[in-house]
């Protein structure tokens, strides 16, 4: 069988629409995941034992079950509890809850790498703990975790393909639709793979520059 690329040229605008959704969903998920990660780390330092236990349970569940199942649970099980969440939002929630658990572990690692003396100095000058977090700890942790965070973002971009299962019309789902109309599966899947690859490659280039700029102070 020969590959006939005119089908791809025809399908490209549709695939790009899907690409846009993939980018949107992953960006939102990594941003919310970062927020969840920060809250989880703060929650683990809390005085409340129940909160700490809940957080540890959340992290073990996320790490011990397939993302695929987590997506299905958010989309199909939450409505059963009376929460009706649209596809896009379900996707973002599932991915960011998943991501947040991993990002919280990165942040914990980053926290340990910050010299205790810097925090002593901040306390000695009368800085409140919230202020120390915002001004001293967090900025340094974010720079420290930028490399693994980039990997997490790349992973999210690829994992978002799983959201096709709940009918979110992101890149993979779009590709399936295009194939349904054109019946040209090999070309469309190759084009789809190329689009994922370009996204990940571009992301890698951008973040390498970002890492360099952000870490200027570390020489």
Partner 1 sequence: MTTSGSIIRVQNLHKWFGELHVLKGIDLEVKAGEKVCIMGPSGSGKSTLLRCLNFLEEPSKGIVFLDDLPVGYIEDADGKRRRDTESNINRMRARMGVVFQSFNLWTHMTASANIVEAPIHVNGLSRQAANEKALSLLRLVGLEDKKDAYPAQLSGGQQQRIAIARALAMDPEIMLFDEPTSALDPELVGEVLAVMSELARGGMTMIVVTHDMGFASAVADRIVFMDHGQVVEEGPPSTFFQQPKNERTIQFLAKMTSRPF
Which residues, 6 or more positions from 5, have their beta carbon under 8 angstroms from its beta carbon? 187
Report the residue from 136, 151, 161, 166 that binds partner 1 according to the rule CB under 8 A: 136
Least distance to partner 1 from the beta carbon of 168, Å? 39
**Residue 60: both structure tokens together:** 């073990």
> Judged by CB, which is closer to partner 1: 82, or 115?
115
- Does residue 219 belong to the site contacting partner 1 (CB under 8 A)? yes
3-state secondary structure 36-54: HHHHHHHHHCCCCHHHHHH
Q: Is 123 in the site for partner 1 (CB under 8 A)?
A: yes
Q: Is 13 in the site for partner 1 (CB under 8 A)?
A: no
Among 128, 190, 206, 210, binds partner 1 (CB under 8 A): 128
Nearer to partner 1, 93 or 122 (CB): 122
> What are the tokens at 76?
């199909």
Q: Does 131 bind partner 1 (CB under 8 A)?
A: yes
Q: How far apart are the first and last CA of the chain?
A: 55
What is the SS3 assignment for 215? coil
Map residue 158 onto helix, strand or coil: helix
Q: Looking only at residues 159 through 218 of this chain, which bind partner 1 when binding is defined by CB under 8 A?
A: 216-218
């Amino acid at each position: 069988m020969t590959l006939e690329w005119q089908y791809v040229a025809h399908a490209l605008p549709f695939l790009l629409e899907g690409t846009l959704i993939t980018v949107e969903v992953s960006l939102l998920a990594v941003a919310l995941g970062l927020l969840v990660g920060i809250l989880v780390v703060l929650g683990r330092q809390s005085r409340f034992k129940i909160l700490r236990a809940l957080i540890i349970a959340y992290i073990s569940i996320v790490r011990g079950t397939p993302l695929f199942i987590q997506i299905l649970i958010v989309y199909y099980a939450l409505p059963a509890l009376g929460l009706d969440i649209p596809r896009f939002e379900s996707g973002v929630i599932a991915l960011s809850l998943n991501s947040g658990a991993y990002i919280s572990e990165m942040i914990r690692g980053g926290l340990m790498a910050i010299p205790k003396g810097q925090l002593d100095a901040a306390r000695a000058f009368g800085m409140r703990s919230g202020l120390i977090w915002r001004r001293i700890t967090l900025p340094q942790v974010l720079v420290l975790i930028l490399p693994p965070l980039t990997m997490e973002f790349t992973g999210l971009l690829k994992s978002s393909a799983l959201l096709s299962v709940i009918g979110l019309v992101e890149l993979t789902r779009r590709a399936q639709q295009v194939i349904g109309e054109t019946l040209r599966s090999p070309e469309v899947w190759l084009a789809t793979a190329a689009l994922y690859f370009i996204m990940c490659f571009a992301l890698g280039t951008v973040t390498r520059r970002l890492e360099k700029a952000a870490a200027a102070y570390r020489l």
